[in-house]
Amino acid sequence: MNFSSKNIENAVNAFASLPGIGKKTALRLVLHLVDQDPGATQEFAETLLTMRQNIKSCQRCHNLSDQNLCSICQTPKRDQKIICLVEGIRDVMAIEDTAHYYGLYHVLGGVISPIEGIGPEQLNIDSLIQRIETEGIQEIIMAISPTIEGDTTIFYISKLLQHKGVSISTIARGVSFGGELEYADGITLGRSIAARNPYNVQGD
Amino acid sequence: MNFSSKNIENAVNAFASLPGIGKKTALRLVLHLVDQDPGATQEFAETLLTMRQNIKSCQRCHNLSDQNLCSICQTPKRDQKIICLVEGIRDVMAIEDTAHYYGLYHVLGGVISPIEGIGPEQLNIDSLIQRIETEGIQEIIMAISPTIEGDTTIFYISKLLQHKGVSISTIARGVSFGGELEYADGITLGRSIAARNPYNVQGD
């Protein structure tokens, strides 16, 4: 691309360094900022700077937070005896969006993956065990991706927690609600038959 | 979406205010910045601020520029007798990318559109006429979109320039190179037959 201005070129390259933004999209965003008042760019830049300077990791659950404890950990109404163990902060948001869970979280920061060089010591496992020992946690729900790495991580952590007096569960796996069986992938469908649940006729 | 942090929410909203960026994409971009060093966000924000504070409109052709005159107007090698008239700065970039044009430009800033309330007085037409009268311009190439508004604009400006002693041309319209005739739209195909060119056998 031919830019008549070095400033435009730098700004396009800055946007294009973000994931999923190509040069053409970056140019569209830059020209949008040029079309607006300088104040709009100022506000945009300042919002990002304020965010990056003030964002913290929750000292208890490692969720993103504005304070030392995140807003979930600070809510006394939530069930303080259950921890939902997730890989990342995106999973916290996804589960919060369902409005089906009212306990606490613990963000692992990834899964054990020898290929990517991620071992247990790089994950927030020590702080999880400490929480279980000090906070009187009764249940751990493992909401980890159903992949080989995820299953390895679940197995590893379950072994560590074996004699800690907490019950361990994993989220249900099977065919999606609203999906049609013929489009479900073979492994999911096969396992959902193997892991079938007894059906209770309502009213019994 | 549930954000555990107000800072994250503000940053997501800032990105989502840009055109073509939804909340999910915005969240991905914000989490990318959180994953990086704070210095990366600082640099990103400063690049945008520097761009917005220093970007100017070229005093001669209204192209985006870092200085009073844009880099194209400052190049003495370019043919100073031809002006290519375009709607916007994106068109300048597109034509520059072809490397088929070595004259100057003039950015109109839009086309005449009564529906959108854009009249000739909102476009850079006065400065075009002034350039023609003072710079000894010999040819104007109208590289304006082949739409009703574009054609109206071409007609309006041609009338103004009728007795100024410049030759006026429009860019060629017809079927695209490499395209197949059966997929060309009917209007383009019909007009390209009406505006057929005599064919010269090479070597004659």
Mean pLDDT, consecutive 10-residue segments, chain A of 204 residues? 85 94 93 91 94 92 91 92 92 88 93 92 93 91 90 92 89 82 82 80 64
Residue B201 has pLDDT above 90, yes or no: no
B170: its two tokens? 């429009």
Q: Could you tell me if A2 lies within 8 Å of chain B, comparing CB atoms?
A: yes
Q: Which residue of B has its CA nearest to A67?
A: B5
What are the start and end residues of each CATH 3.40.1360.10 domain in chain A? 64-170
What are the start and end residues of each CATH 1.10.8.420 domain in chain B? 6-54
Query: Domain B64-170: which CATH class?
Result: alpha beta
Q: Identify any residues that bridge with A79 across adjacent strands, giving them in sequence order.
A: A103
Alpha helices in chain B (DSSP H): 6-16, 23-35, 38-54, 89-98, 126-135, 148-161, 186-194
Confidence (pLDDT) at A153: 93
User: Three-state DSSP class for B204?
Assistant: coil
Gap from A141 CA to chain B (nearest CA, Å): 20
**Which residues in chain A are closer than 8 Å to B49, comparing Cβ atoms?**
41-42, 45
| Cβ neighbours for B134, distance < 8 A, ≥ 6 positions apart | none
pTM of this prediction?
0.79
Mutate to test the interface with A, among B34, B48, B90 (most CBs of A within 10 A): B48
Place of tokens 């970007």: B55
Above 0.85 for ipTM, yes or no? no
Asked if A51 and B96 come within 8 Å (Cβ–Cβ), the reply is no
User: Which secondary structure element, helix H or strand E, spans residue A47, and what is its range?
Assistant: helix A38-54
Confidence (pLDDT) at A77: 93
CATH fourth-level superfamily of A6-54: RecR Domain 1 (1.10.8.420)
Q: Could you tell me if A29 lies within 8 Å of chain B, comparing CB atoms?
A: yes
**Which residues in chain B are closer than 8 Å to A20, comparing Cβ atoms?**
25, 28-29
Confidence (pLDDT) at B186: 83
Q: How far apart are CA B91 and CA B87, in angstroms?
A: 7
Q: Could you tell me if B46 lies within 8 Å of chain A, comparing CB atoms?
A: yes
Asked if A41 and B47 come within 8 Å (Cβ–Cβ), the reply is no
**Which residues in chain A are closer than 8 Å to B45, comparing Cβ atoms?**
45-46, 48-49
